Amino acid sequence: MKHFIKNKIVVFSILFLSSIFAFSQGGKQKELEARRLELSREIQKINTLLTSNKTKQKSEITQIEDLNHKVSVRENLIKVTNQQANLLTREINNNQKKITNNRDELKVLRASYAKMLQKSYKNKNKQSRVMFLLSSSNFKQAFKRAQYLNQYAEHQKAQAEKIKSKTKALQQANTSLLTQKEAKSKLVLANKKEQKLLEVERNQHENIMKSIKKDLNKYSAQIKKKQREARRVDREIDKLISAAIAASNKKAGIKATKTTKSFALTAEAKALAADFLGSKGKLPWPVEKGFIKLRYGKQPSPINRSLTITSNGVRISTEKGAKVRAVFNGEVMGILKPKRSNPIIMIKHGNYITTYQNLGKIFVKTGDKITTKQEIGEVFTNPSTGETILKFRIDKDNKTQDPSSWIFEM
């Protein structure tokens, strides 16, 4: 009895683990498909925005930046598609094993059932059911024989149902296998197409880089100049944030010191900050359409890998006339108009600040109460290159944050 129970537990454990594995495989496939579609949409978005600016003569640096991002996204798309195809291969192999096992089990079941029917027919010829019962020596034996006949009939019925169930399972497995093979064929074809496009883009990248390397010092100087301008503007933003922190502490009656780096918050401001934090990863994009051209943090220059670019926010490439939207409720903390740079809007959300740089038009003023997705301005479009770039930054007190952790699917 103990041995029987032990075997039952082992069989149940195997079935349970198999079902978990199948569920996790299905979940992984859905996750990869969602990621693949997301990357495909990203490439379409990039192509649309780049095509709209095709009439303008772009600098080599801009072209390399565009291609770098495009190549990166396409490489990720190919990688994800390969993962999907590999996962489908494993699923197909597992399904084929199931089909083989089901066929073998069905063969055994049918043979067993045929023997059972044959035996039942012979028994029926030799002795009828009634005679079998009447020939019992006593009532107890007749009762047991009746039970046996009923059990045998039930067993036959169960075997027939089992064969029916196994046949259906086999048909479903075959249908599933055909669907999986078709899906894999589509993924393989899609990947071949993406590989060809990637090769074209890499060749374009290589040709532009050859031109750049002929005068690398000139391009390196341009990058360094852009970095100096970015640092200068960042200092002005930092200065305004520090002044706002000092003002909040003064209002709260807190003596400001060199180590005071946080806002003194009212109950209302604390609630707003908590709501902003609660929306982390779900905040809307500051423009309706766009893609990231430069990410947050330190990164090597795509032109000269020995140069490091430091970015306190992200640069988003968008379309001409794109409206800038506030990513959350708040209050306009300040509007900066730095020298040799386009206007900047800063919005305060408790002790969080969102900054929107490189604006051509401004629709708000300092002190205005702002709601989520409210249009606050328009992104500036460079007339010579046709580029429309929004620089977006998030700070908590006086510390910059990575916007991609806060904005939905950035």
Instruction: Kindly state the DSSP code that residue 256 receives in the 8-state scheme.
Output: P
- Whether 44 is covered by a domain: the verdict is yes
- Please give the single-letter amino acid code of residue 57: Q
- Whether 170 is covered by a domain: the verdict is yes
258 and 194 in a single domain? The answer is no
Q: Which helix (H) or strand (E) holds 335?
A: strand 330-336
**Where residue 71 sits, what CATH number does that domain have?**
1.10.287
pLDDT of residue 134: 57
119 and 28 in a single domain? The answer is yes
Using alpha carbons only, give the angle 314, 320, 321 rounded to the nearest 5 degrees. Answer: 100
Pairing of strands 344-349, 330-336: antiparallel
Domain end point (choices 171, 186, 213) = 213
pLDDT of residue 90: 84
- Whether 410 is covered by a domain: the verdict is no
What is the residue-wise DSSP string for 184-247? HHHHHHHHHHHHHHHHHHHHHHHHHHHHHHTTHHHHHHHHHHHHHHHHHHHHHHHHHHHHHHHH
Domain end point (choices 158, 193, 213) = 213
189 and 243 in a single domain? The answer is no
67 and 98 in a single domain? The answer is yes
The dihedrals phi and psi of 254, each to the nearest 5 degrees, come to -95, 130
147 and 259 in a single domain? The answer is no
Ranges of residues in the chain whose predicted pLDDT is under 70:
1-26, 52-57, 99, 102, 106, 109, 113-136, 139, 142-143, 145-146, 148-150, 152-153, 155-156, 159-160, 163, 166-167, 170, 256, 258-259
110 and 227 in a single domain? The answer is no
164 and 288 in a single domain? The answer is no
- Please give the single-letter amino acid code of residue 284: P
7 and 151 in a single domain? The answer is yes
pLDDT of residue 19: 47
204 and 252 in a single domain? The answer is no
- Whether 128 is covered by a domain: the verdict is yes
Distances (CA, A) of 217 to 211, 223, 256: 12, 10, 46
Q: Angle, to 10 degrees, between the axis of helix 216-251 and the axis of helix 60-126?
A: 80
20 and 144 in a single domain? The answer is yes
Torsion over CA of 164, 170, 175 and 177, rounded to 10 degrees?
170
177 and 37 in a single domain? The answer is yes
Q: d(Cα 254, Cα 265) in Å, to the nearest integer?
A: 11
267 and 374 in a single domain? The answer is yes
* Residues spanned by the domain of 373: 222-405
**Where residue 268 sits, what CATH number does that domain have?**
2.70.70.10
pLDDT tens across 357-389, in order?
Answer: 999 999 999 999 999 999 999 999 998 888 899
Rg (CA), the chain: 35
Domain end point (choices 189, 213, 237) = 213
- Whether 312 is covered by a domain: the verdict is yes
Average predicted confidence (pLDDT) for the chain: 83
Q: How many domains does the chain have?
A: 2
